[in-house]
Amino acid sequence: MADKHTSQRELFETRPAWEEDDRRHGTVATVVLPEGVAKPLDYLVPESLAGSVEPGRRLRVPLGKSGRPRVGYCVAVTAGELPQQPLKEVIAVEDERPLLSPRMLGLTKWMSERWMCRWGEVLEAVLPAGVRAKAGRRSAPVLVRSAAEPARTLTPSQAKVLACAAEPMTAEQLAEKSGASRAVVSRLLKNGLLEICDPARLARAKPAAGSGAAPPVLSERQADAVEAILAPMRARRHETIVLFGVTGSGKTEVYLKAVEETVAYGRQAIVLVPEISLTPQTCSRFRARFGEVAVLHSHLTPAERHAQWKEIAAGSVSVVVGARSAVFAPTPRLGLIVIDEEHENSFKQGTAPRYHARDVAEWRARSEGVPLVLGSATPSLETFQRCLAGEWRMVELPQRVGGAQLPAVITVDQRDPASRSRGPVSPRLQAGIGWAIESGGQVILLLNRRGFATAVQCPACGHTVRCPQCDIALTFHQPGSRGVCHGCGRVTRLTPDCPECRSPSVSLRGTGTQRLEDQVRRIFPGARVARMDTDTMRSRGSHEKTLDAFRDREIDILVGTQMIAKGLDFPSVVLVGVVNADAALHLPDFRASERTCQLVMQVAGRSGRGPLGGRVVVQTSSPDHPALRAAATHDYEAFVRTELPIREALGYPPFGHVVRIVVRSVDDAAARHQAGQIAERLRAAAGGPPTSGTPSNVAPAAVRVLGPAPAPIARLRDRFRWHVQLIGPDDAELRRIVRDAIDGFATPDDVAWIVDVDPVEML
Ligand code: ADP
Ligand code: ZN
Ligand code: ZN
C-alpha cells in the first residue's frame, strides 16, 4: 500500500511529464507581412526548420482560412509554452542568412511607430528590391565593352552602342541610350565585343576621376570643425553636429576629411546628399579621395544596387554616398553619418513609409554610438532650433574659403515701372548677363517653373485651361504646343480657340524655363545657352553631359529649375539671376518663406566662387519680405530670428508637430464626409472643446484640429482631396490621438486616406 502511495505521489509531482501535452511547448516565429495584415502574426516553427528560423530572415507562411502561402519577415523567435489556440506552421525559410540585423529590425519597428505606418511597409522600404528578389529571379545582367578588338568595321549603330558601353549598363539601357535596337546589342554580346560585367565589381568600376589632386590644407576653422566630428567618433559617442557654413565655405572638404579619418580608423561612413545633387561632381569628389565608394542613386538597376549592398554588408566598401535611402546601408562598422544640405525636403519620403532620413539617421547614430553631421548654409528651422535649445552642437564656417567674398546681391523690384520689361528678363538682369559674358564669365539663371508658359488663358472671358482630371492649370510646353499637367503628367491637346467661349485666341501667361531659354537666346544671339530641367534631363547621363559642357566652358548661360541651384562649384560663374523669387513665396504652406530664403541663398551661392568675384540679381515683387531681405544680405540668421517667433506663436514646427490626414475619393462628397468624420473623431480623442481655424491670441499649448478643408490641390488624378490637420506641442500625444481616433474606424471602398506625420509637403 505504502509503495503504491509513494509511486502515486511521485507521479503526481512529475505531472508535466505525463499530464501535460508535449505539443504545448515549442518555438514560435513572429512574422510581419509586407502587405495585407498589419499585425505581426505568430507561427509554429516545425522541428525540421528549427535551425534556420531566425529574426531578419523571410519565411513562407500560410495566411487566412485558405492558407495561401505568403512571404513575410521574421521579427522575433521565442521558445516556450504555446498559446491556447493552435498555430499554423511555417512552411519554409526563404533566405540563407538574415537580410536585417536585430538593430535594423529595431529601427524599422521604431519607424513604423514614429511615422504611423505599417511595419511591413517599412521593412520593404529599407531593403532594396534587388536584395529582396528571390535568388531564382535574377535581374538583367549588366554589360560593358570588352577588351576584344573589332575584327570587322562596325556599323554606325554598333559603334554607338560600344561608345555608350564604356559605362556598365543593362542591354535595355544600352539600347535606349544609343538609340540602337536590342538586336544590335545582342549581336555585339554574341561577337564578344560586349561582355557581362560582374555586378560585384561595379562599386569600383568607375575610375576615380581627378584623383591625384592633393587635398587642400584645411583652414583653422575647418580643422576645428573636423575635430568636433572626430572626437566623438573616436570615443564611440553619439553627438549631432550641425555644420552651418555659408556657400563655398568648405563644408564638403570638412566631410571629406572627417570621412577619411573615419576610414583610417577602420570604420565606415555614410554620406547622404539630396538626389538632385548626386551629380557626377559630388561623386567624383568622393571617388577622387577614396577610390572605392558605393554610390547609391535612383538610376541603379536592381542588380547594381544589390551588388553594392552586398559589398557594403561585407565591409569591403568603406564609404557610402547616396540619397535618402542610403541611410539604411548595412554597414557592419559604422563610424560616421553625414547629411549634406540637411534642409532639403527630399530627405523626407513622399510615399509610405513617410520617414525623414534626418530622424532615421539620428536614431541610427545614437543607437550605434557615432556622430551625425548635418551640414547646410541654410539649416532647417527644426535643426536651428535644436541648436538654440542646446541639444545639438552648432559649428560655424562664416567665411568663404581663401577670403573669397560672397557675391553682391542686387534686388530688382518688379512692381517698379522702370524695372518692367516685356519678357521675364528685366533691364538690370539683362545688363548683368551682358557684363558677365563680356568679362568672360558664365551665368546661371534660375526659374523654378518648367515648360514654356505657366498658364493658358482666354483674354476674352478669363478662362484658364485646366487639366481635365486635376484642379491644376495646364502648363504650355514646346515643341508640339502641348498642355501638360504638372500634377499628373497628363498631356492635353490644346485648341487654338477658347474651350469655354470659343473666342478665337488664347494667350500664354507666365514664363517657364523653355520661354526663358528662348528669350535669352534672342537677347544674346552670340551666347551659348543650355537648359537644365526634368524635361531636358530625362535620359541617363544627360545631367552629367550638360554639367561637363558647362565646366568646359562650352556653355555660357545655363538656364534651369532648382536642379541648378545646389551643390555646383564652378569658379567661372560670375552672375546668378533669380528670375522670379516670388514663385514659391505665396504657396499655402507655412514653410513657404523658409524654402524661398533657402533656394535664393543656395543659388546665389553658385556665384563668385572664383577670383573674378560675382553678382546676383534677384527679381521680385516682394523685395521687403524678410526671406528675400535676408537672402540679399547673406544673413540667414536674420531670417531665422524673424521666422522663429512667428512659428512659435502659431505652434508650428519647430515648436509643435503636425499630423496631416489627406482623404481622397472620386466622389467629392464621400471624401468630404470621411474627412469630416475623421476631424470629429480627432476632436473627440483630443478632448476639450472643438477648435478650428488659426487662433491668433490663444496659447498654442492645446492640440488643435484644423479642417476638414479642401487640400490646396483640391483634385488630383480624378480624386477629390480633403485634408485635416492636427497640430500640437507633443508628437507622442498627437500620435495617441490619431490612434484613438482611427482605431477600428471603417473606410468606405471608394475612399482612401493617408496619415503624414511631420509633413514637409502641404499641398
Ligand atoms: P561648400 O561645400 O561649403 O560649398 P566646398 O567644400 O565645396 O564648399 O569648397 C568650395 C571650394 O573651395 C572647393 O573648390 C574646394 O575644393 C575649395 N576648398 C575648400 N577648402 C579649401 C581649403 N582649405 N583650401 C583651399 N581650397 C579649399
Ligand atoms: Zn474664353
Ligand atoms: Zn492632371
DSSP 8-class letter at 93: E
Query: Atom 5 in ligand 1: which residue has the minimum CA distance?
Result: 250
Residues 6+ apart with CB under 8 A from 191: none
Which ligand is located closest to the Cα atom of residue 471?
Answer: 3
Q: Which of 401, 572, 606, 634 to mutate for ligand 1's pocket (most ligand atoms within 8 Å of CB)? A: 401
Atom of ligand 1 at shortest range from CA of 397: 3
CA distance 539 to 631: 34
CATH superfamily of 26-78+85-132: PriA, 3(prime) DNA-binding domain (3.40.1440.60)
220-402, CATH topology level: Rossmann fold (3.40.50)
Q: Among all ligands shown, which has an atom nearest to the Cα of 498?
A: 2
Task: Give the burial class of 551: count Cβ atoms within 10 A of its Cβ; 0-12 exposed, 13-18 middle, 19 or more buried.
Answer: middle
Point out the ligand 1 atom lying closest to the alpha carbon of residue 340. Answer: 2
Q: What is the pLDDT of residues 456-515, one digit of tens each?
A: 999 999 999 999 999 999 999 988 889 999 988 899 888 888 988 999 888 998 999 999
- The protein residue with its alpha carbon nearest to ligand 1, atom 25, reads 216
Q: What is the Cα–Cα distance from 169 to 721, expressed in whole angstroms?
A: 41
Domain 657-757 class in CATH: alpha beta
SS3 at position 596: helix
**Which of 224, 252, 340 maximizes ligand 1 atoms within 8 Å of its Cβ, making it the mutation to test the pocket?**
252
Provide residues with CB under 6 Å of ligand 1.
216-219, 222, 245, 247-253, 401-402, 569
| Locus of grid cell 549581336 | 187
DSSP state of 91: -
Query: Which tens digit of pLDDT belongs to each residue from 665-705?
Result: 999 999 999 999 999 999 999 985 544 444 444 444 589 99
Ligand 2 centre to CA of 560 (Å) is 32
Q: What is the pLDDT of residues 615-671, one digit of tens each?
A: 999 999 999 999 999 999 999 999 999 999 999 999 999 999 999 999 999 999 999
Q: Nearest residue CA, atom 4 of ligand 1?
A: 248
Assigned C-alpha cell, 390: 542646446
DSSP state of 464: B
How do the domains of the chain map onto residue ranges? Answer: 26-78+85-132, 142-198, 220-402, 404-449+511-647, 657-757
Distances (CA, A) of 522 to 79, 430, 516: 77, 12, 10
Amino acid at 630: A
CB contact set of 81 (below 8 Å; sequence gap of 6+): 24, 25
The amino acid at residue 119 is W
Mean pLDDT computed over 139-152:
72
| Nearest bound ligand to the CA of residue 376 | 1
Higher pLDDT, 551 or 568: 551
Q: Indicate the pLDDT class of residue 555, thresholds 50, 70 and 90.
A: very high
Q: Whose CA is nearest to atom 17 of ligand 1?
A: 250
> Which of 251, 253, 400 for mutating ligand 1's site (highest number of atoms within 8 Å of CB)?
253
Quote the ligand 2 centre to 501 CA distance (angstroms): 4
Distance, first Cα to last Cα, the chain: 87
Give the Å distance between the CA of 456 and the centre of ligand 3.
Answer: 15
Amino acid letter for position 394? M
Please state, for a pLDDT cut of 90, what percent of the chain lies above it. 61
Question: From ligand 1's centre to the CA of 214, what distance in Å?
Answer: 13
Ligand 1 nearest atom to the CA of residue 247, by list position: 4
Query: Bigger pLDDT: 89 or 23?
Result: 89
What's the gap between Cα 39 and its chain centre? 28
220-402 and 657-757 share one CATH topology?
A: no
Cβ pair 284, 206 in contact under 8 A: no
Q: Which atom, in ligand 1's list, is nearest to the CA of 217?
A: 23
Distance 599 CA to ligand 1 centre (A): 20
When pLDDT is cut at 50, 70 and 90, the band that residue 146 belongs to is confident
Q: What CATH number was assigned to the domain covering residues 404-449+511-647?
A: 3.40.50.300
Atom 23 in ligand 1: residue holding the nearest Cα: 218
Q: How far is the CA of 226 from the centre of ligand 1 (A)?
A: 14
Rounded to an integer, what distance in angstroms lies between the CA atom of residue 90 and that of residue 105?
20
